[in-house]
Structure 1
Amino acid sequence: MSFLLSPRTIAVIGASRTPGKIGHEILRNIVEYGFKGKVYPVNPNADEILGMKCYKSVLDIPDEVDMAVVVIPAQFVKEAIEQCGKKGVKAVAVISSGFGEVGKVKEEKEIVETAHKYGMRLLGPNIVGVYYAPIMLNATFGPRDVRVGNIAFITQSGALAIALMGWTILHDIGLSAIVSLGNKADIDDGDLLYFFEQDRSTRVILIYMEGVKDGRKFFKACKRVSLEKPIIVLKAGRSERGAIAASSHTGSLAGSDIIYDAAFKQTGVLRAKDIQEAFDWARAFASIDPPKREGVVIITNGGGAGVMATDACEENGLKLLEIPEDLARKFRECMPPFGSTKNPIDLTGQATDEKYEEAIRIAMMDERIGGIIAIYCHTAITDPVKLSHAITRAVYETGRLKPITVCYIGGERCYKGMKVLNEANIPAYPTPEQAVSAMAALYKWARFIKKEKAAKTSPKS
């Protein structure tokens, strides 16, 4: 796997001189994103591409080749892999489609057998490529300006991978890796889970999947890896028609959704219902540590938003802390006489950034509180950007003792404030439900870890 994600030399077989063609854009992405290794274009009909000497065959390259990206018509892929094997290439990423997903199972099996004959691993076919931030490798035909972060994204859908690369840029979400699996003819989700378990650049693993080919291997990997790092899965093909669509898309056998659901719960996998929720959770895990104890406190300047957050906590299995009198006295210092210390802590519409900062410091320092959900409804009293700096001070100057998620409800200025928080690794969201859902995901994973550790240390185990 290291040769696939951390190659020193790459050959692009099917590199093109024509902008807009996949073979051109992948080569350009590799070069322009900042890969420091050697790159060799391979095209028998070109002498030079993007200022680089072009080779007729991978066999003509004068250097060792760790990885080859194959971007040629399906009927020529087997021969290209044969040549890669003779060259001593360690891994191949087959971008080309036209295999198992269109019923050509025999041809797909043959390219895998050819790769294995030479000890190579094969990613794909039918993929958009790979991205790996630690070595600035963008061997995809997606956007070039991917934001570096610590979320590894494994996806069975190539088009979705490209779309979400752009989506993460728009939403300031950083990625450590993107791996498009396509038909999973050889390398699959389980292989990548084991790799990212050991990857120091990755804090959380996000998977889009339609089905698994080796369920036993996949869930065994989930069980082990989820004890070290959170795994978030967006599983499509939930409905009968969706399962049929998945089968025609990547040749997946979607299987019973009830069985998948049960297996996810048993192995500690967090199942998101949609793209937004999946990345909301991933942002939280990428930014903050999970809670050490139960008992959540909501701090808000709007009663209505507090009620919405309370409902969401109930729906998501979050336990709100009953505020003891000594703690209530401290919170009363942050609000006018008509504020509330009942939880939600309602600082009222008069709340300034100083009062928010004071309340969050109190919550951070109190050992009875497990997590904080801070909600701000835009008012003329407090500027959202100024408030963001106040919240950041409160969180960092108290030592980031517990998780906090933040919600800003308002206009453009609120989005600027959320950007400040997200850049400070304090996850911020535009609705109370999203902030609560992210906190709930942190708690679900923390409870799974606690349960598994208790099972291992119990006398029966």
Structure 2
Amino acid sequence: MADLSRLFNPRSIAVIGASRHPGKIGYVILKNLIDYGYNGKLYPVNPEATEILGLKSYKSVLEIPDEVDVAILSIPANKVLDVAEDCGKKGVKFLVVIASGFAEAGNEEGERKLVEIAKKYDMRVLGPNIFGYAYTPSKINATFGPKDLAPGHIAFLTQSGALGIALMGWTIMEELGLSALVSLGNMSDLDVIELSRFLAEDTNTKVIAIYLEGLKPGTGRKFIEEMKQVTAKKPVIVIKAGRSSRGQIAVSSHTGSLAGSGRIYDAAFKQAGILVARTIEEMFDWARAFSLLEIPRGERTVILTNGGGVGVLATDAAEESGIPLIDPSTELKTAIKKAMPWFGSARNPIDLTGQALVENYIEALEILNESPEVDNIILLYCRTAVLDPVELAESISKLKSKFRKPIVAALVGGEDVARAIKILNKNGIPAYPGPERAVKSLAAVLDYKRYLDRKIGRTI
């Protein structure tokens, strides 16, 4: 595997096609790099400018009086090959090619020549047909998307530029922290496999989420074998687009990839230990859980709730998702009864009833945390007049350091419940606005645990 460290930790970046005009892609990329706080050397390149955004501009990459690790090419497709040649002569290590108009538009020859030039000079190519990339530990936002990215432990790779840009804003709204965001585009050189292998070794990344449209012809077997090595180290979640016959046609015109049958891809993903999500929401729900939780020691699970209805919904979802719910022992029932009104239920789901207060939840959580019968806890809350959800979330968050077992939470209600969900997520407890989403997220974590147990003999 090639060393990609200088792509994600570059000492210097040249933005070729940097613009003085707001709204132009070359302007936005340069401004995002500045505003997000990249502290390496930045070199705008524009033959018609001497200064852009307060930085000295150069007419050519060859005029830059320093080494250049990464060159971002925000120029028309018909100029890319000549500029790539200049970058090679300069000793650039990585080309990030924003331009469209290559294989996805029928210009396979142009894309082939781009890769040939890169190989001649020992450069690597990300793209073409991308919106850039970001790596939050290095304060890099080399995209023409929103400026802000919340730092975290989720790496997101996407073949769709428009979707990737849209999800940049969505992750901020949902408070999902990213380690990396990489637009894959046509994958002329660097592909989902090589990037995933790098991220599998990245200490800042806990989970890899991928929007995938397809692979290059003849790479299926390599994908399975290489991704097995990735999933042995980090969980990988994929949402596969182009599952339908018409979707496959759309994929070929979008990134020039081979879409293929959804069933074939599902079989490949299963062999490689990849978790398959069906929706964007599901992919990021699972990614949130992986980014915040340690892999459970076991599968025995309890549901703790203040509402019978959400408890039943969670129970149904748990059974459908293969989560084993325990039947508490007499000893555990006796202990947990102390944390609830006399008419509550110590069975599983454990129903604290609608009269539950903060102290009831805290006492029950402490009992479950200490019980040798329990490996995982699904915590549910429905808005009641007697229990402020923000107070509950703050109290649970204070206990976080004492928790030895994974907890996922679902809180149902209005605006104050939404605030409580944010508090829990900020404090390392994955929380969701519905019981099914919480349960399925824990199920994904348990599925990955089973994969590790089965494939590499993991015992924890």
Conserved 8 A contact 1:299-1:344: yes
Looking at structure 2, the residues matched to 270 and 402 of structure 1 have their Cα atoms a distance apart, in angstroms, of 22
Q: How far off is 1:222 after superposition?
A: 1.4
Deviations 1:38-86 (A, max 9, x none): 0000011111110111111000001111110001110100000000000
Conserved 8 A contact 2:126-2:190: yes
Which of 240, 248, 251 lines up with 1:235 in the alignment?
A: 240
Conserved 8 A contact 1:128-1:158: yes
Conserved 8 A contact 2:88-2:118: yes
Superposition pairs for residues 296-335 of structure 1, below 5 Å?
296-335=301-340
Superposition pairs for residues 33-112 of structure 1, below 5 Å?
33-112=36-115
Partner in structure 2 of residue 339 of structure 1: 344
Which of 428, 442, 446 lines up with 1:443 in the alignment?
A: 446
Partner in structure 2 of residue 181 of structure 1: 184
Tell me the amino acid that sits aligned with residue 379 of structure 2. A
Looking at structure 1, the residues matched to 7 and 454 of structure 2 have their Cα atoms a distance apart, in angstroms, of 35
The 10-residue stretch of structure 1 (419-428 or 1-10) with the greater mean CA deviation from structure 2? 1-10
Q: How far off is 1:290 after superposition?
A: 1.8
1:403 aligns with 2:406: yes
Q: Using a 3 Å threshold, how does the CA distance of structure 1 residues 455 and 21 change in structure 2: closer, same or farther?
A: closer
Which of 159, 164, 186 lines up with 2:162 in the alignment?
A: 159
Superposition pairs for residues 123-138 of structure 1, below 5 Å?
123-138=126-141
Conserved 8 A contact 1:358-1:394: no
Partner in structure 2 of residue 279 of structure 1: 284
Q: How far off is 1:362 after superposition?
A: 1.1
Q: How far off is 1:323 after superposition?
A: 0.9
Conserved 8 A contact 1:364-1:395: no
Partner in structure 2 of residue 349 of structure 1: 354
Looking at structure 2, the residues matched to 343 and 394 of structure 1 have their Cα atoms a distance apart, in angstroms, of 22
Conserved 8 A contact 1:356-1:390: no
Partner in structure 1 of residue 422 of structure 2: 419
Partner in structure 1 of residue 120 of structure 2: 117
Looking at structure 2, the residues matched to 326 and 148 of structure 1 have their Cα atoms a distance apart, in angstroms, of 44
Looking at structure 2, the residues matched to 455 and 428 of structure 1 have their Cα atoms a distance apart, in angstroms, of 27
Q: How far off is 1:395 after superposition?
A: 3.4
1:208 aligns with 2:211: yes
Tell me the amino acid that sits aligned with residue 419 of structure 2. K
Tell me the amino acid that sits aligned with residue 192 of structure 2. D
Conserved 8 A contact 1:155-1:208: yes
Partner in structure 2 of residue 372 of structure 1: 377
How many residues are matched? Answer: 454
Conserved 8 A contact 1:361-1:395: no
Looking at structure 2, the residues matched to 135 and 324 of structure 1 have their Cα atoms a distance apart, in angstroms, of 50
Looking at structure 1, the residues matched to 456 and 16 of structure 2 have their Cα atoms a distance apart, in angstroms, of 48
Conserved 8 A contact 2:133-2:141: yes
Which of 6, 18, 23 lines up with 2:21 in the alignment?
A: 18
Which of 5, 8, 20 lines up with 2:8 in the alignment?
A: 5
Q: How far off is 1:427 after superposition?
A: 0.4
Corresponding residue SS for 2:399: helix
Looking at structure 2, the residues matched to 293 and 41 of structure 1 have their Cα atoms a distance apart, in angstroms, of 53
Corresponding residue SS for 2:411: strand
The 10-residue stretch of structure 1 (364-373 or 307-316) with the greater mean CA deviation from structure 2? 364-373
Partner in structure 2 of residue 219 of structure 1: 224
Tell me the amino acid that sits aligned with residue 186 of structure 2. N
Q: CA-atom RMSD, angstroms?
A: 1.1
Looking at structure 2, the residues matched to 37 and 454 of structure 1 have their Cα atoms a distance apart, in angstroms, of 43
Tell me the amino acid that sits aligned with residue 402 of structure 1. K
Partner in structure 2 of residue 292 of structure 1: 297
Tell me the amino acid that sits aligned with residue 128 of structure 2. P
Partner in structure 2 of residue 459 of structure 1: none
Conserved 8 A contact 2:15-2:73: yes
Looking at structure 2, the residues matched to 146 and 129 of structure 1 have their Cα atoms a distance apart, in angstroms, of 14
Percent identity of equivalent pairs:
55
Conserved 8 A contact 1:360-1:395: no
1:145 aligns with 2:148: yes
Corresponding residue SS for 2:335: helix
Tell me the amino acid that sits aligned with residue 184 of structure 1. M
Corresponding residue SS for 1:340: coil
Tell me the amino acid that sits aligned with residue 271 of structure 1. V
Q: How far off is 1:455 after superposition?
A: 9.3
Q: Could you list the runs of 5+ residues in structure 2 that have no partner in the other structure?
A: none
Deviations 1:260-286 (A, max 9, x none): 111111221111110000000000000
Tell me the amino acid that sits aligned with residue 181 of structure 1. L
Deviations 1:157-194 (A, max 9, x none): 11111111100000111000001010000000011011
Looking at structure 2, the residues matched to 17 and 354 of structure 1 have their Cα atoms a distance apart, in angstroms, of 59
Partner in structure 2 of residue 268 of structure 1: 273
Partner in structure 1 of residue 261 of structure 2: 256
Looking at structure 2, the residues matched to 217 and 405 of structure 1 have their Cα atoms a distance apart, in angstroms, of 35
